[in-house]
Amino acid sequence: MNNYLINFKNMNWKSPASGVRQKVFLQGDQKIRLVEFSDGFEEKDWCTNGHAGYVLEGKLSVAFGGRVIDFKAGDGLFVPEGEAHKHKAMIAKGDKVLIVLFEVLAP
């Protein structure tokens, strides 16, 4: 029987890097993450993974080559995978962002 509820409240936070903590749900090739960015987090390397998501709280700045786009609470985002869409997430010092991200894992 399938359990259609993803109960993030009962999951433990995991911190894969400084300024990031997340709760991860995996089912087959689908990944759903509840992610909190804080403490002036900035990705060191360019990310080429695809993401779709929704900002629950705060402001997330994402650099795409020569421009930066700000995503605020209530905004959705869609970033296709690939080198042409490489990006880096950034959070202002003292700010915090809570976002839900949906990803399809590569085979």
Whole-number pLDDT of residue 39: 85
> Looking at the predicted structure, is the pLDDT value of residue 1 above 70?
no
pTM of the model: 0.90
Q: How confident is the model at residue 2 (pLDDT cuts 50, 70, 90)?
A: low
The residue behind tokens 């994402």 is 62
Whole-number pLDDT of residue 66: 85
Render pLDDT for 36-84 as a digit per residue (tens, 0 to 9).
Answer: 999 889 999 999 999 999 999 999 999 998 899 999 999 999 999 999 9
Q: Calculate mean pLDDT across residues 85-106.
A: 93
Residue spans of beta strands (DSSP E) within 1-107: 14-17, 20-27, 30-38, 51-57, 59-64, 67-72, 76-79, 88-90, 96-104
CATH code at 20-104: 2.60.120.10
